[in-house]
Amino acid sequence: MNPTNPEPATVVPVVAHDPRRVALEAMARVAVEPTGIVGFATSGGVLVIGADEHAVAFAAGLPHPLKPMVVLLDAKTPAPAPRGLQVFEAQRHGFELDGHLGDFRARLRQGGEMAAFDLVVDFSSPPLFDEDWARLGYHAEKPAPGGNEALVQALVDEVGEFEKPRFFRYDPDLCVRGRSGLTGCNRCVEACPAGAITGLAERIEVDPYLCQGGGICATVCPGGALQYTYPGIADSVERLRRLVQAYVEAGGSDPELLIHDGEAAPDIASLPQNLLPYAVEEVPAVGMEFWLTALAFGVRAVHLDPSPRLAAASRRALEVQLSNTSALLEGLGFPPGAVGWRDEGGRNAMPAIQAAAYGAPGNKREILFMALDHLVSALPEAAPEVVELPANAPLGEILVDADRCTLCVSCATVCPRGAVTAEEGRPALVFFEARCVQCGLCEQACPEQAITLGPRLVTDRERRDLRRVLHEEVPFECVRCGKPFATRSSIEGVLARLEGHAMFDGEQQRQRLRMCGDCRVIDMMQEGGPM
């Protein structure tokens, strides 16, 4: 089980006037807001899943306090059950299993009730669960002639009461998962190595019992709806600030950062003196906003040193973050390879800049913009007005084709962050670029296919925060009372689509389409009936 206190203390060899030692001690003194606890309790109920007598023999040999039960999936021949051991047979395609340590649920008989187990041993091939990180209490194994002694001991050790940190916080108001049946973002679901995140219609659901603190969910979340809390981003940035600041104040120069898993600490004595180790629960728990903040604090290069535990999906997600970071740095005129994998080497060191000293707010988006704004201010020459970014970057604008747009405001209806809104009192779309995370919901919702995404960074903060009109039209006024009630393009579009329709072949019927709703009803009643 994971401990409840953030990052284990790093043992530092004592060297006379060692700026790195001073820096690590300063970082260790930063108080970190504690996170919640998730509890597990087990009493030894074990479900053993297999296909033949090996599963039965393994279950029969389990010691106290383990209490086994066996399910044979697609068994070719019946396996005799020793006295006192329950053995069930089932078809794999209809077998149901879900849950976590202390509360696994399985349907042993078709149509029967779900039975509860504390632990699961799965000898079936392929395993029933295929997450990159096995669920706590779930063991996908192959039968071994020696009896799987290590597995037996692991099961015995998992009987009792355990705790792990609650690694995340979720704010559904910031989530861009989806709206109105459209899906805009699936990043966290795809990247989670533990299978702890389920995508719902407009939100996600994170199972705290399945979550193992991979942190990649918070890193890929474009708007900060998922926040890592072990520690939180604000505390992580403050620890980083104190680390770099104390190192420089103690006489250190050219600091570089080594981000590593807390359980895979490097041999500090073997590291270059200017390489500052920074322990996290998992390397994917920090991403682009943290790396850029490190560069803003004066770090010359950032090295990522993940453990072998790093899942393939998490690495792919980090590669996207690295690509976006390189594009931002290169677009600003800095070395694009200042952040990367340690084992690849070849980091391009940042030039010396005036280090930022700001404290970090709790908002991921604000932290990202603060780092970028500081890097822009540190440029020796004027920054480019715009930096073009890859298609998956969470920064940018939306482009509206005025010839296609009818100002139906479907885009504003589905935007979860208020980046695009309908102007009150007149037909217009208003855009706030700083709010846009390029989720694409507006693009999907547009019935006229008038919207495209434009990933980019506007380097001027005031311009980025500016309210901007994307498209507007003169209101169409009711031909009877003069009240504005629609846009000219929408009325013209309706008339064009109904051209030649039998119900609208008369001028009077077509004229009613140019009336507001009230006048249309009045006109119909005066005529003596509906159209």
* pLDDT, average across residues 375-402: 96
3-state helix, strand and coil shares in percent for the chain, rounded to the nearest 5: 30, 25, 45
* Residue range 41-95, pLDDT digits in tens: 999 999 999 999 999 999 999 999 999 999 999 988 877 889 889 999 999 998 9
Best CA proximity match to 348, nearest among 323, 375, 321, 330:
330
Q: Is the pLDDT of residue 352 over 90?
A: yes
Indicate the residue type of 181. G
Q: Write down the pLDDT at residue 317.
A: 96
How confident is residue 292, by pLDDT bands cut at 50, 70 and 90?
A: very high
* Residue range 111-142, pLDDT digits in tens: 889 999 999 999 999 999 999 999 999 999 98
Helices (H), 158-304: 187-191, 216-220, 233-249, 288-296
Contact (CB, 8 A) for 73 and 95: yes
- Beta strands 138-140; 119-122: pairing state: parallel
For residue 114, what is the DSSP state?
Answer: E
* Residue range 157-214, pLDDT digits in tens: 999 999 999 999 999 999 999 999 999 999 999 999 999 999 999 999 999 999 999 9
Best CA proximity match to 415, nearest among 373, 360, 470, 371:
470
Does the CA dihedral 183-188-194-197 come out positive or negative?
negative
Contact (CB, 8 A) for 277 and 271: yes
Interior angle at CA 118, CA 114 and CA 120, nearest 5: 85
Full-model pTM? 0.87
Residue 91, number of CB atoms within 10 A of its CB: 10
Q: How far apart are CA 433 and CA 387, in angstroms?
A: 14
Q: Write down the pLDDT at residue 47.
A: 98
Flag the least confident range among 81-95, 142-156, 210-224, 489-503.
489-503
Higher pLDDT, 476 or 59: 59
Q: How far apart are CA 81 and CA 60, in angstroms?
A: 9
Q: How far apart are CA 30 and CA 240, in angstroms?
A: 10
Best CA proximity match to 220, nearest among 314, 131, 307, 294:
314
* pLDDT, average across residues 27-35: 95
* pLDDT, average across residues 365-374: 96
For 256-284, letters b (16+ CB in 10 Å) and e give: bbbbbbbeebeebeeeeebbbbbbbbbbb
DSSP-derived secondary structure for 455-517: EEEE--HHHHH-EEEEEE-PEEEPTTT--EEEEHHHHHHHHHHTTT-GGG-SHHHHHHTTS-H
Q: How far apart are CA 392 and CA 320, in angstroms?
A: 8
